[in-house]
Structure 1
Amino acid sequence: MSTAPDERVEVDYIAPRHLAGGGDPRWITVPLHRACGWSLDHDPLAPRVVLSSPDHKALLRLEPDPDHRWWTLHHAPGPATPAWYASFGARTPVEFIAAVTDALTDPAADTAATPDPYDALVQAHWTPTGTCKGLVSPDGTAFLQRSDDASPWFATVMVNGSRVVWQAHFGEHTPTRLMAAFATAMTDPTPVARILDTRSLPTLDPRLITRTRVGMQAALVAFALDDRLRTLSARHAPPAAPPSAPPGQPPGPGRSR
């Protein structure tokens, strides 16, 4: 979408992230399509987006429905791995879902070490809660837990002690590295940008959230998504070829006989 060079918008920076509302779905869908090569099935007459991975093993659906999950991610089984799924409510911040899809599409994932999902929570001072194997955020509004090591994961955010803001469910076979990416995103203290009215926020309680409003050029707001696209596209770029030896010189050390 083009904008006038001097057009300005009001941007709210919200912390903590889990209480910032859903955000712009394009933060997830555009990079998957343009940077990661996922094919797009979009009906302009229906509020539904379906993206499938190049190998046709993963399918991401965005289906706005007040009675069901808005986002669902399904992955087919592999030769040595079972199928798994993840689902996210409407107000799950797009940055959290993007952390999962970024980890899923990372070409270096097979060589990277897999951290424990709870490590990020402990470092952020989350504490054990109840009888489940789970932790709660310092403000008491966010939970990440599972019954045991072979059970599904659940993330829940609540305000006022009982009102559920959003939930995310992960099947028991969800790769640990994806759960670690989700947990890291949940504990990131950096505020997230939102263009919204106050009705879009799950709470206005100043004891729970901080809002910093900044007026900026619309082009700078759009730049954030463009920069994200460039970063993710670079992951899939082929490595640069080594420089060739100048003509008349051997390509490496050694002596000719």
Structure 2
Amino acid sequence: MSVHETIEQALVAPSYLAGGGDPGWVTVPLHRACDWSYGHDPLMPRVILTSPDQQATLRIDPDPDEPWWTVRHARCGDRPAWSATFDARTPVEIIAALTDALTAPTPPAPGLEPYDLLRQAGWHTVGEGLISPGRIAAIEHYGGEDGPWFADARLDQDEGGLIWRAYLSNTTPPHLIAAFAQALADPTPVRRPVGRVPAPAREHTLTRTVHLPVGDVAFALEQRVAALSARRKDATSNTHPPRSPRVPPPRRTR
């Protein structure tokens, strides 16, 4: 591979219209940087990853009539069980925002509420929820504090206009909801192979084609894995500071 070689890529904004992307953006870091284990059944077209403590699972099940992505966490002490589901065309960057927050060594300090994050990005109130500036993506905390969260991207209100839908249970930890909302609000374009942006959404995106070095594209996932591995290593070193060197006792003299 020559250092001068380039590859054509599409930079797509808003990210929630970019299409699903490569599932490895989520699954590979969970396995390699966070030690989630997986079972392998070559006769079943699905992926199941399990956290080291056996409390959380991520499942990808390509059922055309059900959400493809499911994240579940079991009850832990006084914290209730929770779940989140995402349709096939939910951008992997948005799902990764939730799984990255889930696997963070320590939860972040409380920040802005999800609705406040989105309002700062130009989303505005419609009914009980918020809608994006282009009126394509929407989110609603159904029923208030005790209700689940629903989000979707759609070109019209007919079922055929739906691009993707997400559901987060009412017991989903607040910092995970915030991470999901932050990803929805993020204006940073995401990369996709040219021609892989969903056709119905193309006229509603700002897409430009660029030529990037092959290495930048080929090693983007490796860099992501390395960054998450470093995050975990740094947290471990801060939790267990190095011991002071043992000083031998003074020698006795006559």
Q: TM-score, normalised by structure 2?
A: 0.87
Distance 2:212 2:43 in 1: 33
Distance 1:160 1:102 in 2: 31
Matched, 1:27 2:22: no
The secondary structure found in structure 1 opposite 2:47 is strand
How far the C-alpha of 1:4 sits from its partner, in A, is: 6.8
Other-structure match for 1:184: 182
Partners of 2:194 and 2:209 within 8 A in 1: no
The secondary structure found in structure 2 opposite 1:43 is coil
Per-residue deviation, residues 16-55 of structure 1 (Å, max 9, x unmatched): 0110000110100000000001001232333211000000
Other-structure match for 2:139: 144
The secondary structure found in structure 2 opposite 1:239 is helix
Partners of 2:26 and 2:99 within 8 A in 1: yes
Partners of 1:48 and 1:63 within 8 A in 2: yes
Q: How do 1:18-167 and structure 2 match up within 5 A?
A: 18-109=16-107, 112-130=109-127, 132=128, 134-147=129-142, 148-162=144-158, 163-167=161-165
How far the C-alpha of 1:125 sits from its partner, in A, is: 1.5
Per-residue deviation, residues 74-94 of structure 1 (Å, max 9, x unmatched): 110011011110000000000
Partners of 1:142 and 1:155 within 8 A in 2: yes
Distance 1:202 1:75, change over 3 A: farther
Per-residue deviation, residues 147-203 of structure 1 (Å, max 9, x unmatched): 221111000111145411100001110011000000000010010000142563442
The secondary structure found in structure 2 opposite 1:11 is strand
Question: 5+ residue gaps in structure 1?
Answer: 249-257
Distance 1:197 1:236, change over 3 A: same
How far the C-alpha of 1:9 sits from its partner, in A, is: 2.5
Distance 1:198 1:24, change over 3 A: closer
The secondary structure found in structure 2 opposite 1:149 is helix
Question: 5+ residue gaps in structure 2?
Answer: 249-254
How far the C-alpha of 1:244 sits from its partner, in A, is: 6.4
Q: TM-score, normalised by structure 1?
A: 0.86
The secondary structure found in structure 2 opposite 1:236 is helix
Distance 1:179 1:14, change over 3 A: same
As a proportion of its length, which structure holds more helix? 2
Distance 2:197 2:231 in 1: 37
Alignment RMSD: 2.3
